[in-house]
Every structure is written in structure tokens, then in C-alpha cells.
Structure 1
Amino acid sequence: KMNGGVKKEDLGKENVEAVKKGCLNLGRHIENIRQFGVPAVVAINHFYSDTEAEIQAMKDYVVSMGEEAVLCKHWAQGSAGIEDLANRVVKLAESGASQFAPLYPEAMPLFEKVNTIVKRIYRGDEAIADKSIRDQLHAWEQAGYGNLPVCMAKTQYSF
């Protein structure tokens, strides 16, 4: 609901339209996961104020994206509240459906790796970095670290 424009203090009120609007953010995460060649399962972090209509709207959206959503109530039920999710993840992991591939080849220069992430994950036009940053990346490449993957921090608010 927050991704659909609802203020934190209003989250306790049913708002199916805001959930649907906020699902666009979830869709971006699903699309990003697919770029790595792996299937997704969406964990719905259930809150006591979530209504059946809101939960169903999320499930419907996830199904429209070709994936599955599992309602998780671990905050109220502990590990029993996520048993369905755990079973689904195990089933997916054992299914052979994953065709994991990184977004870029190991040999790609570090700044090009960053640029690839910016374009493909964040959908930016290009990465911008001061000369000092580019020089540091180049120095790491010269020191033999250029073949390592790049890790960029991302939150649900990164888009």
C-alpha cells in the first residue's frame, strides 16, 4: 500500500486500489529476478490489518506476472507461519527450473559492470562517476580484481 501512495498512518485501512498501484513496484522486482534466469516466489509479509481483498489483489497480480505468491505469517506464528514458503522454495530449487546467469561476463571492466546494473536493474540511462572513482576501479582491475562481481546495495525504494 505504501508503494501505492498510502501514508504510514493510513496503512490500517483497506485500500485495494493502492495495493494494485503498489504492485507495479513488485513487478519490477520480479522482472529483475527473471534477468538472472531464475524463477521467483513472492512472500507476502502479512500484517494483521491486511484484508482478504488486499491479499487477493497481490496474489492476482503475481499470478498475472507468471509467478506464485505465498502468504507468510511469521510475525504471528513464528516459523510455522512461513512453512508454506519454505516448501515452495525447496520445490523450486529442486525443480531444475533455474538457469542462473549473471548480468555480465566476468571479464567485463568494473565500471561497465556498474553501468550494466544501472541500465538493466535500475533502468537508468548510464552510470556516472567522478574520475577518482573510475581511477580506483581501474586500479583494482590492475591489481587483479577486475574479474570479481560488483555488488550494489538496493532497497525496495530504489526504483
Structure 2
Amino acid sequence: MDVRLTVNGTSHRLDLDPRVTLLDALRERLGLTGTKKGCDQGQCGACTVLVDGQRVLSCFVLAATVRGKVETVEGLASEGDPLHPMQAAFIECDAFQCGYCTPGQIMSAIACIREGHAGDETEVREYMSGNLCRCAAYPKIVEAVLKAKPAIEARA
């Protein structure tokens, strides 16, 4: 099946089986391995990407059904900037240990702020509850989200 995806501002034309998930298309066909395959059942959030600014579990979405612009962790930093403010905040706050869940956490955190769900620690925890961290870095993740909030809101 002929599938067209716009990922991180670049248009791609792929010949895919209609059953291929967005996650597998990103990782296996486009080489964007920042998006992680965790549970492959939509329960852990490791595969979170943004489609038209909304967070999406890419293991749950068929690539052929995606019509919007896909943003992955690889596409976050602006030209000339080594890191997106959320990536920098995760480093500054030590918001990861093994790092496996970090790309999905970062993408969800950006959506959390953009959608107005980062008013306080309780709201961030609730909104980010779909992203699991086996290392239990949750307090530092919340700290990073709140630290990056002003810079991300300024970009909007």
C-alpha cells in the first residue's frame, strides 16, 4: 500500500503492508529509533509521538491511517539548538535512569504543556500517568516538565 507520512517536517512515501503500525514504520522503515517499542499494546507510553500536536501511542495506530504531521523525539531540537527545552530539562533534572522510556515521556510532557495540563505537580502527574517508568523517576520527570513549561509556552 502506498503510504505518505510527514515526519519531523519531511514527507516520506512508503510502500507498506496495511497492517504496519506507525511505530514500526518509524523505526524499521525510516530509521527513527528514538521512538521505543515497550509493551506493543498501548499500555506503557514508550512509543508516544505527536500527530498534529496531539500525543499518540504509535504502536496502536496503523501508519496508513495517519493524515497529520508526525513529530518524534528526533525532530524536537530547532536548527542551531542542540536540544529542545524539554530535553534540556530532563538532563538538568536528572529525569531518567535507564532512558528507555525517556523519548515517550518527553513527547507526552510537551503535549501536557501545549494542551494546558501542566498547572501544578498533581495535574502533571495525572496527565503523564499513561507513561510508565520502570526506574521510577517520576518525581524528577514532573520537576522537568514544570521546569521546561515557561520555555515551551514561549515557543507557542
Which category describes the TM-score, using the shorter chain as reference length?
under 0.3
Higher helix share: 1
Higher relative contact order (CA 8 A, sep 6+): 2
TM-score norm. by structure 1 comes to: 0.23
Higher strand share: 2
For the pair shown, the structure with the greater C-alpha radius of gyration is: 1
TM-score norm. by structure 2 comes to: 0.24
